[in-house]
């Protein structure tokens, strides 16, 4: 705006000096620019229309090389796509050296879904600062990987603005973690990513699907766990340090337990609209249960699947 105002003054000076200026040659401030392939409109980062059209017009790959080319075209825009890693997993599978190329219905479904996600990708907002800005980190652990997203909201907005979406498939032994450990891992990865975007001084509202901070401030490893003690110590150190980085009246991290929004329903609700979700707690040892409860106690293997908003556990027989 400052540049535009100075341009107006220059035009006024030239006209006063009897210079002739064609109005058609005078351009006002641009509402949209494209730089290094990224489209910026109203200060938001968007995928250019020509990129969307190019990707959605692509035919299904017929070889590993073509699949890799498609992955390369998509990868740069992954921060616009919730659960990118989980969606793309079947496509990465066919590019592995040890695997022969085989395009199954699973790959075709992933191919069609990612093109749909690109076509409807949301614009990413610039980082806003100030005491009225709420920074909310949604984190979740699914069957196939971790997801987290960072949102901001200021008074007067009905929905939050996304700053980015991240996701990661489970690597190595992490797939064997307990559901609680997977949720903590998602929060840990999310806090790291959020700190890189908004800095470590801004307060962060953490919204996991299961409570995390309680485990961190206990400072000890639960009786049932798969992650190593060293990994637990790493989680505890980072999250508790980030939580204590501000004064006691405004901690660095606050936890809000709420239904994790997905797809087009992503948004940041006001406090009074947040659904109250019962906090999960570690069950007592079997030998400490009342006699009546021992009749119905189930021993689980630490795994579960997410069905809608519910978690279904498998009893170990």
Model confidence pLDDT, tens digit, residues 261-301: 444 444 444 443 444 334 445 566 767 778 777 766 665 54
pLDDT of 305 reads 56
Nearest to 90 by CA among 117, 114, 55: 114
> Do residues 153 and 161 make contact, with C-beta atoms less than 8 angstroms apart?
yes
- Among 54, 64, 120, 113, which residue's Cα sits nearest to residue 88? 113
Task: Report the percent of the chain where pLDDT is more than 70.
Answer: 72
**CATH code of the domain occupying 134-282:** 3.10.20.370
Q: How far is CA 246 from CA 92, 182, 202, 242, 253, in A?
A: 42, 27, 9, 8, 9
CA 259 to CA 185: how far, in whole Å? 18
Query: 199, 282, 185, 172: which is closest to 234 by C-alpha?
Result: 185
Identify the residue whose tokens are 């489970």.
170
Round to whole Å and give the CA distance between 28 and 23. Answer: 11
Per-residue pLDDT of the chain (317 residues; tens, 9 = 90+): 455 567 677 777 877 777 776 666 665 555 555 444 455 455 567 888 888 899 999 999 999 999 999 999 898 889 899 999 999 999 999 999 888 899 999 999 999 999 999 999 888 888 888 888 999 999 988 888 899 999 998 888 877 889 999 999 888 889 889 888 999 999 999 999 999 999 888 889 999 888 888 888 888 888 788 899 999 999 999 999 888 876 666 778 888 865 554 444 444 444 434 443 344 455 667 677 787 777 666 655 455 555 555 666 555 44
- Interval 170-217: pLDDT, tens: 888 898 898 889 999 999 999 999 999 998 888 899 998 888 888 888
Query: Starting from the edge strand earliest in sequence, which strands make up the sheet with 44-46, in order?
Result: 32-35, 38-41, 44-46
What span, in angstroms and rounded, lies between the C-alpha atoms of 147 and 86? 9
What is the C-alpha separation between 317 and 298, in angstroms, rounded? Answer: 9
Separation between Cα atoms, residue 137 and residue 149, nearest integer Å: 6
Distance CA 117, CA 114 (A): 5
Provide the pLDDT for residue 159.
Answer: 74
Q: What is the dihedral of CA 148, 149, 150, 156, to 10 degrees?
A: -130
What pLDDT is stored for residue 277 in this prediction? 39
End-to-end CA separation in angstroms for the chain? 69
Beta carbons within 8 Å of 213's beta carbon, 6+ residues apart: 206, 239, 243, 253, 255
Ordered by start, the domain boundaries in the chain are 1-30, 31-119, 134-282
- Name 313's Cβ contacts closer than 8 Å, sequence gap at least 6: 298, 300, 303, 304
Number of H helices, E strands in the chain: 9, 10
């Amino acid at each position: 705006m400052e540049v535009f105002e100075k341009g107006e003054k220059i035009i006024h000076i030239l006209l006063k000096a009897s210079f002739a200026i064609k109005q058609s040659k005078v351009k006002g401030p641009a509402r949209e620019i494209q730089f290094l392939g990224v489209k910026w409109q109203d200060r938001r980062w968007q995928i250019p229309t020509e990129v969307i059209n190019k990707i959605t017009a692509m035919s299904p790959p017929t070889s590993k090389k073509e699949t890799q080319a498609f992955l390369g075209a998509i990868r740069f825009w992954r921060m616009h796509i919730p659960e990118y890693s989980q969606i793309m997993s079947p496509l990465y599978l066919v590019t592995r050296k040890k695997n022969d190329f085989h395009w199954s219905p699973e790959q075709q479904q992933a191919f069609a879904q990612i093109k749909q996600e690109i076509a409807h990708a949301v614009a990413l907002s610039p980082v806003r600062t100030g005491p009225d800005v709420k920074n909310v980190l949604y984190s979740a652990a699914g069957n196939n990987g971790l997801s987290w997203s960072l949102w901001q909201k200021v008074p007067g907005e009905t929905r939050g603005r996304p700053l980015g979406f991240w996701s990661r498939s489970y690597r190595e032994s992490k797939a064997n973690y307990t559901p609680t450990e997977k949720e903590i891992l998602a929060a840990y990865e999310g806090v790291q990513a959020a700190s890189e975007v908004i800095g470590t001084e801004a307060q962060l509202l953490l919204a996991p699907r299961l409570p995390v901070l309680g485990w961190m401030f206990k400072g000890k490893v639960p009786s049932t766990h798969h992650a190593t003690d060293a990994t637990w110590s790493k989680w505890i150190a980072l999250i508790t340090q980030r939580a204590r980085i501000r004064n006691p009246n405004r901690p660095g991290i606050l936890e809000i337990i709420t239904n994790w929004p997905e797809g087009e329903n992503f948004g940041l609700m006001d406090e009074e609209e947040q659904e109250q979700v019962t906090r999960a707690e570690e069950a007592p040892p079997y030998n400490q249960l009342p006699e009546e409860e021992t009749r119905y106690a189930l021993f689980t293997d630490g795994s579960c699947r997410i069905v809608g908003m519910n978690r279904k556990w498998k009893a170990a027989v």
